[in-house]
Amino acid sequence: MSLDFYWYPNCGTCKKAKKWLDDNSIAYNAIHIVDHPPTAEKLKSFVEKSNLSVKKFFNTSGKKYRELNMKEKLPEASEEEMLEWLSSDGMLIKRPILTDGKKVTVGFKQDQFENMWG
């Protein structure tokens, strides 16, 4: 099983997720989410496979989210607009995103990782 691990190396949550993957000897392809953000199409497939709403993919605690006033924009936005915003700036995306092509997790919760990837 090869996983794509979208992460930002300076992110504390991403570091915890990476340590968990390494400690559990799980192979992954690390993708820098800011240098190589997923496309709108790829994000749409992540949303579908995760059973989460597209709003759950926003990094609501991030500086960029506040700078762009996303809290006010999201309630009126279409899913397509949200996917375009996310794909245009990796700092807007909640991270890490981990996928095997069939399943997707967003963020890091150890019990969720153990259930899904352990």
Provide the residue ranges of all domains of the chain, joining segments of one domain with +.
3-117
Q: What is the CATH number of domain 3-117?
A: 3.40.30.10
Task: Tell me which residues of the chain have a pLDDT lower than 70.
Answer: 1
Contact 57, 33 (CB under 8 A): no
pLDDT of residue 2: 84
For residue 59, the one-letter residue type is: N
Contact 83, 44 (CB under 8 A): yes
Q: What is the full DSSP assignment across 50-73?
A: HT--GGGGB-TTSHHHHHTTHHHH
pLDDT of residue 48: 97
- Report if pTM > 0.75: yes
E strands, 33-114, are 97-99, 104-106
